[in-house]
Amino acid sequence: MNKPPPYKSAPMQIPQPYRPSDGNGGPDYGPRDLMRDMENPDMLVPPVTDAGLLPNLKFAFSDTHMQLNKGGWSREITVRDLPIATTLAGVNMSLTPGGVRELHWHQQAEWSYMIWGRARITAVDQNGRNFIADIGPGDLWYFPKGLPHSIQALAEGCEFLLVFDDGNFSDLNTLSISDWFAHTPRNVLSANFGVPESAFANIPKDQVYIYQDQVPGPIDSQKVQSPYGTVPLNFKHRLLAQMPLKTPGGSVRIVDSSNFPISTTVAAALVEIEPGAMRELHWHPNADEWQYYLNGQGRMTVFSGGGKARTFDYRAGDVGYVPVAFGHYIQNTGNQTLWFLEMFRSDRFQDISLNQWMALTPRQLVDSNLHASPELMAALRKEKWPVVKYPGF
């Protein structure tokens, strides 16, 4: 058997598990998934500050099962794919023009972000009050658990992210109207609706889930007046229309029950990080963080205490996760703006900035604890709440 060539002769364009700064590691001559290694450079060659063991905090929608139907598709990430993610689960769904996510309801609350396109949503609450609205890019909706609803794509079709407040959720276990009809005796349906059994001759034999229909007409043409009126709290929120908090290096839009009152179990932030900038060192004291990357590429290091830290690389379509109170930061490692959603099973968004904490602590204490340099102490004096910043700001 031929001896592998020495490491120094390996092609430079092929990444190797070797860290030049300290000489640790060595070549990997394969077999290997080179494309995966190139997408995860900080897992192949971890920063020297990474240490100990942390569970996997990343999963890509591209690695999930795709459910294909006439009218659209869906895929999901739950604890079966990302076991650490116990608090929230996500579904990525797309509907063709006129495609319908059928009339259904869940045991969990549903929070959603429209990625592109437009859809019409409908819902009815426990008091017989209804809701019908059109949703566009950057809009949200929220349906409390148990409330029946539907989603139908308009003329351009749509794609959206659904988030549910239970990591064990699965969209394929939805409570659907077609599934219930199919598993109810015809004589019971007849008695319930006061029509002959023959009226149910053409009902679906199984759950429909997603189906193709015609593009609905203008929203005014579909209005249904309830004698009890409309729901008292709006199920829709225009997140992209919300004024962002601008910071050096990006922006953030925060949405929780304070500005979207119906959303009592999911809080979120839409974060923008410009090339070369970072989401500062911070943590969330009240809930685990479930992330969805919308555009660009980034790197996140998570610190859990006890000398443990681990770095992950993320791209559009990836999901990240950070357990409650674990310190972390996110850097834009690409040449495009990095956009991602961070979501929490909570009624309020809470964030603690490492910079702000240090700036609001007696300086002598910080200095003696960290042997802080004069430059660091001077930088802390101008800290407020940067959230997203350029290094060195």
| Set 110, 272, 342, 383: catalytic member | 342
Question: At 354, phi and psi to the nearest 5?
Answer: -60, -45
Give the pLDDT of residue 248.
86
Q: Would you state the pLDDT for residue 382? A: 62
Distance between CA atoms of residues 148 and 164, nearest Å: 15
Percent helix / strand / coil, the chain, rounded to 5: 15, 40, 45
Rounded CA separation 133/153 (Å): 12
Cα–Cα dist 316/166, whole Å: 23
C-alpha closest to that of 169 among 91, 235, 93:
91
Of 202, 273, 280, give the one whose Cα is nearest residue 244. 273
3-state secondary structure labels for all residues of 88-155: CEEEEEEECCCCEEEEEECCCCEEEEEEEEEEEEEEECCCCCEEEEEECCCEEEEECCCCCEEEEEEE
> 160 by DSSP, 3-state: which?
strand
Query: Which backbone phi and psi does 8 adopt, to 5 degrees?
Result: -65, -15
Domains of the chain: 63-234 (2.60.120.10)
* Number of C-beta neighbours around residue 56 at 10 A: 14
Q: Residue 60's CB: how many other CB atoms inside 10 A?
A: 16
Structure confidence at residue 359 (pLDDT) = 87
For 356-392, give one letter per residue: b (16+ CB within 10 A) or e.
bebbeeeeeebeeeeebeeeebebbeebeebbbbeee
Strands 267-273 and 250-255: antiparallel
pTM of the predicted model, to two decimals? 0.93
Phi and psi, residue 179, nearest 5°: -65, -40
pLDDT computed for residue 387 by the predictor: 53
One-letter amino acid at 149 equals H
Expressed in angstroms, the distance from the first to the final Cα of the chain is 56
User: What is the C-alpha separation between 329 and 282, in angstroms, rounded?
Assistant: 7
Q: What pLDDT score does 59 carry?
A: 98
Is 342 among the residues known to form the active site?
Answer: yes
Residue of 326, 302, 306 whose CA lies nearest to 314:
302
In which element (H, E) is residue 77 found?
A: strand 72-77
> Per-residue pLDDT for the chain (393 aa), expressed as one digit of tens each?
455 554 454 455 789 999 999 999 999 998 999 999 999 999 999 999 999 999 999 999 999 999 999 999 999 999 999 999 999 999 999 999 999 999 999 999 999 999 999 999 999 999 999 999 999 999 999 999 999 999 999 999 999 999 999 999 998 889 999 999 999 999 999 999 999 999 999 999 999 999 999 999 999 999 999 999 999 999 999 999 999 999 889 999 999 999 999 999 999 999 999 999 999 999 999 999 999 999 999 999 999 989 999 999 999 999 999 999 999 999 999 999 999 999 999 999 999 999 889 988 898 999 999 998 888 888 876 655 445 544 443
